[in-house]
Structure formats: C-alpha cells, structure tokens
Amino acid sequence: MNSTPTAIIVGGGIIGSTIALDLIRAGVQCTIIDKGALLQEASTAAAGMLGAQVEIHQPGAFYELCRLSQLLYRGWADELEQLSGGVSPQYINQGILRIAWNEEDEVELKSRLAWIQDAEWMEAEAMREWEPAIASNVRGGMYFAKDHQVHPVYLAKTLQAALHKQGCDIREWTPVFNLIERSGRVVGVRTSEGELYADQVIVCAGAWSNALTEPLGFRLPMFPSKGQCISVKTTAPIIKKTIFTKGGYIVPKQDGTMLIGATQEEAGFDKRCHVSAVSALHAKAATLLPALEQAELVSTWAGLRPGTRDGLPYLGISSKLPGLIFSTGHYRNGILLAPGTGKLVRQLVLGQQPDMDLTAFAPDRIFATVE
Ligand SMILES: Cc1cc2nc3c(=O)[nH]c(=O)nc-3n(C[C@H](O)[C@H](O)[C@H](O)COP(=O)(O)OP(=O)(O)OC[C@H]3O[C@@H](n4cnc5c(N)ncnc54)[C@H](O)[C@@H]3O)c2cc1C
C-alpha cells in the first residue's frame, strides 16, 4: 500500500508554487496544475515589496500573518536560491519610506507607532539626507526598516528552478475545469487532460478561485483587482529605498530601473494598460521625485490581484468540504505572504497544529454573511 501523502495544487502562482515546494520537501507527493505557464499572472506583475508594516493600518490577525511571513523571508529566500542552484530572487534589505505630505498624514502615521514594530518617524530633513531626490515640500515620513523587497520576476525564476530540481510534477497549460466531489469530500480535479486524484486538493487559483469553488456551494466574494504599473530609468540611480505614498510607490530595482505602481481598479479580467493610467502614475511619482520628470519609460504592464471584500485571504479547511484546502485571496500582499502561507498550509496538510490561529481567515466565514 502506498502511504505517501498526495496533494494536487490548482494554480501555480507564487502561492501554489511555494506550497508545492514546501510540501515536496516534507515528503508529500505533489502535482501542480496551471491553466497557463507557472508564475505568469499576478505573481510576476507585482512590485515585490515585503510591506508587513507599511501597508497595514491596524493590529490584528492579518498583521500577525504578515509578520510571520516577514520573519521567515530572508532565510526562505536564501534557501530557495540554494535549492534553485543559484538563481537569485534579488532580495534587497533596504527599508521603505512612507511619505507624509501634511499634518493629517503625520498624525495617521504616528498613531501606528502604538502597535507597529520596526518603524520610526523621520523629519523631512533627515529623510532627504538619505534620499536627496525626494521633493522639498514633503512634511516627513515613517521609516519601516524591515520592509525589504524582492524582484518578483526573479523570485519566480528561483522558485521555478527549485521546483524542477525537486522533481515536482508540473502540468502547465492544463486548465482545471472543476473539483471532483464524492460523498461530501473533494477527491480530485477534472482537467483538460483528464481526471486526477489526491488526498488533498489545494485551491491557489488567485483571482479565478471562485469559478472552482462556487459549484460546490462556496461562493467566494473575490474579485480581480487590476493593477497597472510602469518601469522607468534615469541616467543614474536616484533612490536606494522604496518610497511609498498614499496610492502609489516607487521601488528601485537592482538593474537600476524604478518600478512605479500601481492602479487599483475593478475592471473584470482585463489586463490592458491605458495611457491615462500610465501618465497618472508617472505624474504622481514625479511629485515625489522631481527628477523623474525626465525619466525614460522602460515598460508597462498590468496584473490581477486576487481581491477579497474583507481584505483577508481564504486560508484553511472548511468543515463543509473535507479534502479541500483554501489558499487564495492574498490580494495586495501575496509576495510577502508566500513563505508564511507555505508553512501554514504544509502544517494543515500534515495534520499539525498551525503556527498561528487561522480563525480570521477561515473559508467558512462566507456563510456568516449569507442568509
Ligand atoms: C500591480 C501589482 C502589484 C503588487 N505588488 C505587490 C507587492 O509589492 N508585494 C506583495 O506582497 N504583493 C503584491 N501584489 C500582490 C501579489 O502579486 C498577489 O497577492 C499574488 O501574486 C497572488 O498570488 P497567487 O499565486 O494567489 O495568484 P496568481 O499569481 O494570480 O496565480 C494564480 C494562478 O492560478 C492559475 N489558475 C487560475 N484558475 C485556474 C484553473 N481553473 N486551472 C488551472 N490554473 C488556474 C492562474 O493561471 C495563475 O497562474 C501586487 C499585485 C499586483 C497586480
């Protein structure tokens, strides 16, 4: 009798790929299935900020989840690089400066000091000593020293190389049409290439997840949240740290380009870029860094964040559908949340106590709002 546990992972973005790698290394036999190529959707459209503090506005379970992942990140990135045979995810350990333009911004940012960790208020002068390219009319800002970054495209290459080296069964260009349920338990998936069965099925299908779960009575209130970005270049690098402001950011990358993001739109599954959005992103960035007025445009793109109406991921097991694990809806923070999610899902698959209480992320919370 074959006693090796088996898992099917639907969706090979950063979340599904990270889970697959974690499970394989724990001795679980994994198949990862994607309707396209691995890591080509939201996960390579992202900016790569590991913003466990900069993006979070209140303490609570989500902040704890972000911190859990942040604490794992550096070691995880180094390990991935080793497993990949030396492909670097371009981890940069520079923090993020969040700009305050006026007194209201300053009060809001300083109010977070009551609960946030690894943050300090900086006057404009001190900030401009670090980053002289910042506009002279900023009021000051908060420095989040531990909010580092990776390059999502290189992280994807690293992860993909590691998965191949670990012998993961990867099925690309193979859409999953539906989940197979028998006697109230999810036992497999029906794909364009036939049926596949496993002990556990894990849904990591990003913005497309609801199409898989809704036929089984799980209507996930998820939506694609479109983010358009641009990449620009100046003759010489002008910043070292990520500069973040309300509704936008500028992330300097190792190759000297700066990633400027991002719009947040509900436009269905449309991934086209629009001139109006591109010029608005550039204009906003140039108010922060005036030297960007003359920047060269390198590229534009858009991706679809797996948005959830309450801003929290669906992470866990439903008592109503054994055999199925939800790991989706990581919205604006999936790059950051990858190592923490990988670890927590591995613990669920192996029947271990997860490192943190997952109640806030329980998929069954959707039933609390349905009559
Ligand atoms: C512009 C932008 C900027 C961002 N910046 C950051 C950032 O700085 N930091 C951060 O932490 N996060 C950021 N994010 C968010 C992050 O990118 C997402 O949270 C993360 O990529 C979600 O990963 P995922 O694996 O769940 O989804 P995806 O990467 O979208 O992967 C889902 C996969 O499932 C596959 N799939 C779907 N349906 C099926 C099916 N039926 N059968 C088979 N396969 C299927 C898809 O093809 C896809 O490959 C950003 C996102 C965007 C768009």
**Residue 345 CB–ligand 1 contact under 6 Å:** no
Which residues, 6 or more positions from 165, have their beta carbon under 8 angstroms from its beta carbon? 83, 84, 85
Cα separation values, 157 from 14, 39, 91, Å: 11, 9, 13
**Residue 331 CB–ligand 1 contact under 6 Å:** yes
**Residue 262 CB–ligand 1 contact under 6 Å:** yes
Distance 173 CA to ligand 1 centre (A): 16
Cα separation values, 131 from 97, 196, 237, 347, Å: 10, 54, 11, 42
- 167-226 pLDDT, tens digit per residue, is 999 999 999 999 999 999 999 999 999 999 999 999 999 999 999 999 999 999 999 999
- 266-293 pLDDT, tens digit per residue, is 999 999 999 999 999 999 999 999 999 9
Does residue 1 carry a pLDDT above 50? no
Distance 41 CA to ligand 1 centre (A): 5
Distance 18 CA to ligand 1 centre (A): 12
Does residue 371 carry a pLDDT above 60? no
Distance 92 CA to ligand 1 centre (A): 21
- 121-178 pLDDT, tens digit per residue, is 999 999 999 999 999 999 999 999 999 999 999 999 999 999 999 999 999 999 999 9
Closest Cα to atom 10, ligand 1: which residue? 333
Instruction: Calculate mean pLDDT across residues 225-231.
Output: 98
**Residue 70 CB–ligand 1 contact under 6 Å:** no
Token pair of 108 as six digits: 């809001």
pLDDT at position 368, please?
A: 84
Distance 45 CA to ligand 1 centre (A): 8
* Nearest ligand 1 atom to alpha carbon 191: 42
**Can you tell me the distance from the alpha carbon of 121 to that of 143, in angstroms, rounded to the nearest whole number?**
6
Strand order in 6-10's β-sheet? 169-171, 29-33, 6-10, 200-203, 324-328, 314-317
- 106: how many CB neighbours lie within 10 A of its CB? 16
**Residue 65 CB–ligand 1 contact under 6 Å:** no
Distance 76 CA to ligand 1 centre (A): 19
**Residue 15 CB–ligand 1 contact under 6 Å:** yes
Residue 312's pLDDT band, with cuts at 50, 70 and 90, is: very high
